[in-house]
Amino acid sequence: MFKINDNYLKLPGSYLFSTIAKKVAAFSEAHPDASIIRLGIGDVTQPLAPVIIDALHKAVDEMGHAETFHGYAPDLGYEFLRNAIAKNDYQDRGCDIRPDEIFVSDGAKCDSSNIQEIFSVDNKIAVCDPVYPVYVDSNVMAGRTGTYDPAAETWSNVIYMPCTAENNFTPELPKETPDLIYLCFPNNPTGTTITKDQLQVWVDYANRVGAVIIYDAAYEAYISEENVPHSVYECQGARTCAIELHSFSKNAGFTGTRLGYTVVPKDLKCGEVALHSLWARRHGTKYNGAPYIIQRAGEAVYSEEGKKQLKKQVAYYMNNARIIYEGLKESGYTVFGGVNAPYIWLKTPDHMDSWQFFDYLLEKANVVGTPGSGFGPSGEGYFRLTAFGSCENTKAAIERIKKL
Amino acid sequence: MFKINDNYLKLPGSYLFSTIAKKVAAFSEAHPDASIIRLGIGDVTQPLAPVIIDALHKAVDEMGHAETFHGYAPDLGYEFLRNAIAKNDYQDRGCDIRPDEIFVSDGAKCDSSNIQEIFSVDNKIAVCDPVYPVYVDSNVMAGRTGTYDPAAETWSNVIYMPCTAENNFTPELPKETPDLIYLCFPNNPTGTTITKDQLQVWVDYANRVGAVIIYDAAYEAYISEENVPHSVYECQGARTCAIELHSFSKNAGFTGTRLGYTVVPKDLKCGEVALHSLWARRHGTKYNGAPYIIQRAGEAVYSEEGKKQLKKQVAYYMNNARIIYEGLKESGYTVFGGVNAPYIWLKTPDHMDSWQFFDYLLEKANVVGTPGSGFGPSGEGYFRLTAFGSCENTKAAIERIKKL
């Protein structure tokens, strides 16, 4: 008789954003006239930029003719895209990353959940708390996290690094030594970030203790301040200790278009074994490439015109972030983030817990946000709003919240 | 110090098709004037059908306007696509499969390698031999296959079901009871298939011993004979024992466009736990949906015009299959498959082993095929050619082989 992977049964509830979607659907059914504004999930709302639309049409036409048709993509992704990534995201920033260290994929969510697979089940992970739930959940499924304590909402074999207002949302080096360290800056969900010097401390630490940093740079396009690193490879020594994940979802609006990439430097080794060769084996065996037409769309992101158009798109969302941030401040909320990231992290008022505030906001203002506790125990008492709505909706949502 | 998943180190060599690509690249570099014809990897060559091109353009346009823009897809995939699949691939064939049992993905390769993840590591798999390498390799990575015997080219904890000319390429029920049974009909690599009655035996067996059948139906569009099942759900009782994998790669030419789906019936349970809920959890947590525009292209596959155009495309490749089959027969080869599948499986001549014949064909005829032994020990002495080339190239390849 077959047996299931019972690690799955240890997971409490469903995936955070699936739970929220179900709650909102139920509310919507009960209140069909309510005009709900969604600032919960980090899903973009602006259309793809014209230069990307053009690239897509062109590539679709190529797929319609035998001479220009494309079948299976090369294992790592097309060179035209990997070259553009290596130049723009790395070499132009002084980072020593080569095209053959870049693995194109269908998004950072898949990569961030699959990357743990090339590591031993015996490794111990460290995560910021609060944190993007995929890092922890994927490790639960793999059997790496021990047992769940429902009271504390923590796993026995996970090192939590609290990030709260008290430490300015910057994790401290953990007391217990981890094997894998998940870091995401600019941060999801808190919207805060760290300086290059602070990140260097983490890189030095990882090299010293023999840990791997899994660095999620999904929000780097939103960095507006100096001395905030766009890539972990801006730090000395990152090539021997860090893997970096990138998404096209937030900088180019690809949440429904699907494209991302992962960097595994060839210098990152466990003894003689390069992690690059393990990830290449996984990529070749268990994945079959992002669609040709989408990879061409990704290439357009790096064109001169593409950069110009997407800078405007990011500015559009960052204007929303400002509206949320300032509007909430005016209403007396304690607010963080929103300067180098599209997320605003607020303290829930009147001692409401995160889910109470979620229900309160949904019922009273018909605004959907994300409860901080969904990201980890230290997120309790906080709440996330995203800047990815339309400007009109964002303004309307803040007006409604002001009136509460 | 972090540790790697050392199951990866047990894998002998690289992924089969990556190895072939490297060998061909090396030959091509050494012989820049050689006009190489690739009938190795199962990659299509005909352009996407006009109806699909139209659907792609239309969906791209939608992505360019805020009112019709699409962000993250629903967890299981868009309803418009799942409804079309449920109706056309199942209900119209008398199979009781509902849209909410269908999980849209970016292809059957990913699904066929990820599906093992919802099962315990202690489960024992059974595979046909020869077999699509992804089934075994993904289980090796998960630590389910025991140790490798390089002489026998087998894993200690895998049940092999030999499929050779002697048993008409139809596996017999294994002596040892497996937990997971991988079946693929029409078969890759042998191009042969089984009758509905024969498949019913497997379904009854799986229900009796408590095994799950993972049924890969990637080639069902190539079935030309009566009484060959297009889906495992044509068999009585399959809803309690079978998962089915589907690809759009071969019926619609999506190898570079990427779309597939997996069916997990809600009646398939381990005790009280529905496998549907486990796969839904994985899909929601570790995957983020196929691109909207590609799902629209998938919908077009099921339109009346789409069916008509794709029937012609399949016929084009099946004509190639006939050319290969008959050409090789005329030249004295012993040949199988090619009637209900786009693969031709031949016995290597003159006691050459599979890789010797690969090198021979590449060097003497500049034709690339796939060595049978790459699919498993019982594939030794066989060789696979695919019908997915252009008709012109296919004819040229056969002429060259005839002249050897």
Question: Can you give the CATH number for the domain in which A110 is found?
Answer: 3.40.640.10
- Domain extent, residue B16, equals 7-47+305-403
Q: How many structural domains are present in chain A?
A: 2
Judged by CB atoms closer than 8 Å, whether chains meet at A69 and B138 is answered as: no
Residues B212 and B316 occupy one common structural domain: no
Please check whether residue B285 is in contact with residue A138, taking contact to mean a CB–CB distance below 8 angstroms. Answer: yes
Q: Tokens 């629903």 sit at which residue?
A: B74
**B202: Cβ–Cβ under 8 A, 6 or more apart, which residues?**
B173, B181, B183, B213, B235
The annotation status of A219 as a binding-site residue, yes or no, is yes
Of the candidates A397, A364, A362, the residue with the CA atom closest to the CA atom of residue A22: A362
Instruction: Tell whether B352 is within 8 A of chain A (Cβ).
Output: no
Instruction: Tell whether B47 is within 8 A of chain A (Cβ).
Output: yes
- B387, pLDDT greater than 80: yes
Q: What is the pLDDT of residue A41?
A: 84
Residues A316 and A294 occupy one common structural domain: no
Residue that is last in its domain, among A304, A327, A348: A304
**B136: Cβ–Cβ under 8 A, 6 or more apart, which residues?**
B125, B127, B145, B155, B158, B376
Among A176, A182, A288, most B C-beta atoms within 10 A, so best to mutate, is A288
- Six-digit token pair at A78? 């097309």
**Tens of pLDDT, residues A117-162:** 999 999 999 999 999 999 999 999 999 999 999 999 999 999 999 9
Within a domain: A2:
no
Judged by CB atoms closer than 8 Å, whether chains meet at B256 and A123 is answered as: no
Chain B CB contacts of A286 under 8 Å are 109-110, 113-114, 134, 138, 141
- Six-digit token pair at B327? 């050409």
Burial class (CB in 10 A: 0-12, 13-18, 19+), B104: buried
Within a domain: B223:
yes
Judged by CB atoms closer than 8 Å, whether chains meet at A48 and B69 is answered as: yes
* CA A45 – CA A253 distance, rounded (Å): 8
Residues A83 and A231 occupy one common structural domain: yes
Pairing of strands A343-347, A335-337: antiparallel
Within a domain: B197:
yes
Instruction: Tell whether B288 is within 8 A of chain A (Cβ).
Output: yes
Give the 3-state secondary structure of residue A216. Answer: strand
Among A2, A213, A240, most B C-beta atoms within 10 A, so best to mutate, is A2
Please, which residues bridge with residue A161 across strands?
Answer: A128
Q: Would you list which residues of B are annotated within the binding site for substrate?
A: 15, 42, 109, 132, 188, 288, 384
Distance (Å) from the C-alpha of residue B345 to the closest C-alpha of chain A? 22
Q: What is the pLDDT of residue B13?
A: 74
Q: For residue A8, name the pLDDT band (cuts at 50, 70, 90).
A: very high
Judged by CB atoms closer than 8 Å, whether chains meet at A60 and B57 is answered as: yes
Judged by CB atoms closer than 8 Å, whether chains meet at B119 and A3 is answered as: yes
Chain B CB contacts of A3 under 8 Å are 119-120, 122-123, 179, 270
Give the 3-state secondary structure of residue B373. Answer: helix
Residues B90 and B35 occupy one common structural domain: no
Q: Which residue type sits at A62?
A: E
Judged by CB atoms closer than 8 Å, whether chains meet at A141 and B286 is answered as: yes
Q: Tokens 């890189």 sit at which residue?
A: A203
Residue that is last in its domain, among A248, A280, A304: A304
Please check whether residue B383 is in contact with residue B371, taking contact to mean a CB–CB distance below 8 angstroms. Answer: yes
* CA A59 – CA A281 distance, rounded (Å): 28
Judged by CB atoms closer than 8 Å, whether chains meet at A117 and B50 is answered as: no
Report which DSSP code applies to B177: P
Within a domain: B1:
no
* CA A181 – CA A162 distance, rounded (Å): 13
Judged by CB atoms closer than 8 Å, whether chains meet at B2 and A109 is answered as: no
Distance (Å) from the C-alpha of residue A388 to the closest C-alpha of chain B? 11
Residues A345 and A207 occupy one common structural domain: no
**Tens of pLDDT, residues A92-120:** 999 999 999 999 999 999 999 999 999 99
Residues B113 and B66 occupy one common structural domain: yes
Residues A296 and A309 occupy one common structural domain: no
- B252, pLDDT greater than 90: yes
More confident residue, A166 or A13: A166
**Tens of pLDDT, residues B121-171:** 999 999 999 999 999 999 999 999 999 999 999 999 999 999 999 999 999
**Tens of pLDDT, residues A273-314:** 999 999 999 999 999 999 999 999 999 999 999 999 999 999
Q: What is the pLDDT of residue A396?
A: 98
Averaged over B246-269, what is the pLDDT?
98
Among A15, A122, A258, A317, most B C-beta atoms within 10 A, so best to mutate, is A258
Instruction: Tell whether B275 is within 8 A of chain A (Cβ).
Output: yes
- Six-digit token pair at B321? 């299959």
Within a domain: A21:
yes
Chain A CB contacts of B287 under 8 Å are 109-110
Of the candidates A276, A227, A123, A289, the residue with the CA atom closest to the CA atom of residue B257: A289
Q: Which residue type sits at B277?
A: S
Q: What is the pLDDT of residue A234?
A: 98
Of the candidates B295, B116, B285, the residue with the CA atom closest to the CA atom of residue B216: B116
pTM over 0.80: yes
Residues B72 and B197 occupy one common structural domain: yes
> At A397, which helix (H) or strand (E)?
helix A391-403
Residues B199 and B339 occupy one common structural domain: no
Within a domain: B240:
yes
